[in-house]
Amino acid sequence: MSTDQQLPSLLLTKDLQDDALWRQARSHTLERIRRGAYTPTAPDQPPLERAIVLARLHIEAVSRQTRQAHWFSHQSAAFLHGLPTLVVPEVTHVIQHYRRSGGADPRVRRHYVPLKVHDQDVVDGLPVTSLERTVLDCARGTNLTEAVMIIDAYLHNGGDPDRLNRRVQELRGQRGVRLAAKHIEWSDAGAESPGESRTRVLLRRGGLYPHTQVVVHTHLGRFRVDMGWPEYRVGVEYDGLAKYTRLAEGDPAKVVFEEKRRQDALEDAGWSIQRVTHADLRNPDRLLAAVRHRLHRARPR
């Protein structure tokens, strides 16, 4: 989930006169983020965009209301680092060295563990675990699909796989290390989007092991297919909505036209392409059957 947008102001009760805050709350111009923290309402903001903003403000509120040293971690740190998560984080993870007193916030998960200096960082003025430590924590403590999405993004953007594996070895004996090693083994730097990562995990779970970023030569030039089997000339491409909206630069019709020309060129080169959308990922059995059918019909070179 991206946090690259203008955030509204965060208002803390300790910074406001109680009567002023009460008047704004009663007039429904303020939305409560957590106890003692509010933000101006935004009724016209799209739901997903609003969820991203509120998640970011919740992290900031926790930081401003926490007195002792702390670092945001796990999915919260991934969110701040710009790594993909399956959903907008609803729980804020934070590492502290000492156990706090007082009431617990169900939307805050505190981890009381030591954190070395090289595992500490700052993103947008907020204390956070380093990028590498964040990837490792997520690899150790989340499900396969989300872990692979996060590791793929780290590797695709220049992360060092050997260094990541060495860090896993350093953590031997600790909780979740075997799980992290498995998740790293499933990762691939060739994935260029979370949708590609999710598609590849689904295929591997079904016993299919595609190569990523397969180069195909056509009469229109050289193209790269998201994943596939060159020996069968079968490819799988993930079509995200962003390709036809945000990345279309105001001309989605041109993108559709270019995609059609590209598809025709790939087919003329003897390739069979299975296109995948977000909706297809909700029906893995149907998608696996469709890919197996293409592989069954193809003749290996």
Answer whether residue 179 is part of any domain.
Answer: yes
- Looking at the fold, whether 81 and 59 belong to one and the same domain comes out as no
In terms of DSSP bridges, do strands 70-72 and 11-12 run parallel, antiparallel, or are they unpaired?
unpaired
Of 134, 163, 189, the position where a domain reaches its end is 189
Same domain, 39 and 85: no
**What CATH number did the domain enclosing 270 receive?**
3.40.960.10
* Residue at 235 is within a domain: yes
- Digits of tens for pLDDT over the chain (301 positions)? 544 455 568 888 877 666 666 666 666 688 889 998 999 998 899 999 999 999 999 999 999 999 899 999 999 999 999 999 999 999 999 999 887 655 678 999 999 988 999 999 999 999 999 999 999 999 998 999 999 999 999 999 999 999 999 989 888 888 899 999 999 999 999 999 999 999 999 999 999 999 999 999 999 999 999 999 999 999 999 997 555 455 545 566 777 778 889 999 999 999 999 999 999 999 999 999 999 999 999 977 7
Q: Exposure string (b/e) for 230-253, b if CB count within 10 Å is 16 or more?
A: bebbbbbbbebeebeeeeeeeeee
* Domain shared by 75 and 184, yes or no: yes
83 belongs to a structural domain = yes
Q: Are residues 75 and 178 in the same domain?
A: yes
Asked if residue 106 is part of any domain, the answer here is no
Q: Indicate if 225 and 131 belong to the same structural domain.
A: no
Domains contained in the chain, number: 3
pLDDT in tens, 121-132: 999 999 999 999
Structural domain ending residue among the three candidates 28, 49, 65: 65
Give yes or no for a contact between 276 and 288, defined as CB atoms under 8 angstroms apart: no
Q: What is the DSSP string of 117-149?
A: GGGEEEETTEEEE-HHHHHHHHHHHS-HHHHHH
pTM of the model: 0.88
Inside any domain, residue 281:
yes
What is the predicted pLDDT for the residue at 254?
A: 76
- Judge whether 42 and 50 are in contact, CB under 8 Å: yes
**33 and 89, same structural domain?**
no
Q: Are residues 75 and 174 in the same domain?
A: yes
The residue out of 148, 163, 189 marking a domain boundary is 189
Distances in Å between the Cα of 25 and the Cα atoms of 35, 117, 289 are 13, 41, 54
Q: Which residues contact 21 (CB under 8 A, 6 or more apart)?
A: 11, 13, 30, 38
Q: Is residue 100 part of a domain?
A: no
**CB-based contacts of 274: which residues, under 8 Å, 6+ apart?**
234, 235, 236, 237, 287, 290, 291, 294
Say if CB 85 and CB 74 are below 8 A apart.
no
* Whether 61 and 77 share a structural domain: no
Question: Do 128 and 220 fall into the same domain?
Answer: no
Residue 272 forms part of a structural domain: yes
Do 151 and 81 fall within a single domain?
yes
- In a domain, residue 102? The reply is no
Does 120 share its domain with 223? Answer: no
Question: Domain of 58?
Answer: 1-65
Same domain, 46 and 118: no
Does an H or E element contain 217, and which? Answer: strand 211-218
Helix axes 161-170, 144-156, angle to 10 degrees: 130
